[in-house]
């Protein structure tokens, strides 16, 4: 690993182990995971269902605190951060994309992209401008006033990509983002996301079952039974 890459590290998951306490049962999910995500790279996270991919993304996104180990995001160790600090870091550094678009049905495409910006205190004028710009890059300039129900699956997921990028994050965490799409739409959403990750020089960690897409990414990490498989 060269110095340039060390400079560009956005996420470092260090010795992450996770155990869920389900009633009186302990469910060991992750076992000493170490991984880094660098700016400008697409990193695929693959592995069978139930192996801990979503858990790892939730830990990386500071939504779940790991039982053991450290999450270093944008050079900050998040282990002992309070919830306010974590939520600020999440809002400014991370964009999330899920398998289903999770857009608000009563809001238009542009309003869905504006919302996270307004929550972070951006002015309405700036939020409109940024949202239009992102939706245009994603080929949705003619759909900005459409509600999610009037969009195709691929279009709705492109709005979700725009929303994830709305606050100019340095890291995208995507959990099966094309899992609900037909192969052509999946490839289209993936290609757009990939181009934006490169153009904006941000890191992107994508859990996926799609081996075609995993093969198109810069690197792939496979988890099996809670551990990284080499
Ligand atoms: P994947 O995304 O790879 O399919 P998950 O991270 O969703 O895997 O789940 C890994 C394991 O952890 C599964 O056995 C699942 O049942 C369990 N699990 C996930 N979330 C919870 C939870 N909140 N409480 C208890 N067990 C959970
Ligand atoms: Mg999952």
Q: How confident is the model at residue 3 (pLDDT cuts 50, 70, 90)?
A: low
* Residue 6 pLDDT greater than 60, yes or no: no
Pocket probe mutation, ligand 1, options 33, 48, 54, 63, max atoms within 8 Å of Cβ: 54
190, 14 contact by CB (below 8 A): no
E strand or H helix that includes residue 85: helix 83-93
User: Per residue in 215-226, pLDDT tens?
Assistant: 999 999 999 999
Instruction: Find, among 116, 117, 165, the residue nearest to 137 by Cα.
Output: 165
| Closest residue by CA, ligand 1 atom 26 | 20
Secondary structure letter of residue 80 according to DSSP: T
The Å distance, Cα 48 to ligand 2 centre, comes to 9
User: Per residue in 19-30, pLDDT tens?
Assistant: 999 888 999 999
* Residue 1 pLDDT greater than 60, yes or no: no
Q: What is the structure's pLDDT at 4?
A: 53
Closest ligand to Cα 60:
1
51, 27 contact by CB (below 8 A): no
User: Per residue in 82-118, pLDDT tens?
Assistant: 999 999 999 999 999 999 999 999 999 999 999 999 9
| Closest residue by CA, ligand 1 atom 5 | 52
Is the distance from the beta carbon of residue 53 to the nearest atom of ligand 1 less than 6 Å? yes
* Residue 185 pLDDT greater than 90, yes or no: yes
The residues with which 175 forms a beta bridge, in sequence order, are 207
The Å distance, Cα 52 to ligand 2 centre, comes to 7
The span from the CA of 211 to the CA of 74, in Å, is 29
Is the distance from the beta carbon of residue 21 to the nearest atom of ligand 1 less than 6 Å? no
Is the distance from the beta carbon of residue 208 to the nearest atom of ligand 1 less than 6 Å? no
Q: What are phi and psi of 62, to 5 degrees?
A: 60, 25
Q: What is the structure's pLDDT at 23?
A: 87
Q: How confident is the model at residue 126 (pLDDT cuts 50, 70, 90)?
A: very high
Pocket probe mutation, ligand 1, options 23, 50, 61, max atoms within 8 Å of Cβ: 50
């Amino acid at each position: 690993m060269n110095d340039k890459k060390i400079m560009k590290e956005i996420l470092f998951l260090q010795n992450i182990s996770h155990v869920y306490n389900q009633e009186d049962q302990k469910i060991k999910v992750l076992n000493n995971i170490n991984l880094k995500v660098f700016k400008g790279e697409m990193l695929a996270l693959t592995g069978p269902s139930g192996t801990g991919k979503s858990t790892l993304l939730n830990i990386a996104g500071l939504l779940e605190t790991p039982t053991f180990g450290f999450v270093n995001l944008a050079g900050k160790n998040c282990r002992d951060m309070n919830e306010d600090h974590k939520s600020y870091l999440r809002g400014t550094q991370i964009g999330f994309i899920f398998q289903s678009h999770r857009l608000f049905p009563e809001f238009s495409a542009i309003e869905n992209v504006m919302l996270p910006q307004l929550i972070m205190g951006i002015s309405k004028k700036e939020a409109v401008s940024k949202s239009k710009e992102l939706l245009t890059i994603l080929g949705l300039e003619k759909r900005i006033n459409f509600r999610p129900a009037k969009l195709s699956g691929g279009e709705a997921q492109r709005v979700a990509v725009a929303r994830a990028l709305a606050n100019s994050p340095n890291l995208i965490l995507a959990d099966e983002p094309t899992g609900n799409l037909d192969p052509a739409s999946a490839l289209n959403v993936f290609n757009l996301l990939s181009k934006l990750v490169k153009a904006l020089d941000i890191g992107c960690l994508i859990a996926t079952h799609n081996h075609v897409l995993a093969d198109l990414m810069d690197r792939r990490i496979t988890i099996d039974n809670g551990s990284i498989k080499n």
